[in-house]
Amino acid sequence: MKLSAIIPSYKDPLHIKTVESLLSNSELGNELEIIIVLDGYWPDFGVIQDSHVRYVHLGKNVGMREAINVGVKMSCGEFIMRNDEHQVYGKGYDRILIETCEPNWIVTPKRYFLDPVKWEVMDLPPVEHQKLVIQGGVKFSGQSWPERDLEMKDVPISETMAMQGSCWLMPRKWWNNVIGELQTEGYGPLIQDSHEMVFKTWKAGGKLMLNKNTWHAHKHRSFPRTHNNGSLETPANCDAGYKYALDTWKDYYEKEIKPQWNI
Residue range 205-225: mean pLDDT, rounded: 92
Which pLDDT score is estimated for 207? Answer: 98
Which pLDDT score is estimated for 233? Answer: 56
Residue range 83-94: mean pLDDT, rounded: 97
Which pLDDT score is estimated for 235? Answer: 63
Summarised one tens digit per residue, pLDDT across range 19-38 is 999 999 999 999 999 999 99
Summarised one tens digit per residue, pLDDT across range 94-105 is 999 999 999 999
Q: Model confidence at 130, in pLDDT bands (50, 70, 90)? A: very high
DSSP state of 191: S
Q: Model confidence at 141, in pLDDT bands (50, 70, 90)? A: very high
The domain that holds 43 is classified in CATH as 3.90.550.10
Q: Model confidence at 168, in pLDDT bands (50, 70, 90)? A: very high
Where are any strands of DSSP class E within the chain?
3-9, 32-38, 53-57, 79-83, 87-89, 105-115, 120-121, 130-135, 139-144, 157-159, 167-171, 207-219
Q: Is the pLDDT of residue 46 over 60?
A: yes
Q: Model confidence at 159, in pLDDT bands (50, 70, 90)? A: very high
Average pLDDT, the chain: 94
* Euclidean distance between CA atoms 254 and 251, whole angstroms: 5
Quick check: 84 and 219 in contact, CB under 8 A? yes
Which pLDDT score is estimated for 4? Answer: 98
Residue range 115-140: mean pLDDT, rounded: 97
Summarised one tens digit per residue, pLDDT across range 218-247 is 999 887 766 554 555 556 678 999 999 999
Q: Is the pLDDT of residue 45 over 70?
A: yes
Q: How many domains does the chain have?
A: 1
Quick check: 218 and 116 in contact, CB under 8 A? no
Within 13 A of 115's CA, how many CA atoms are on the CB side? 8
Domain of 78, in residue numbers: 3-261
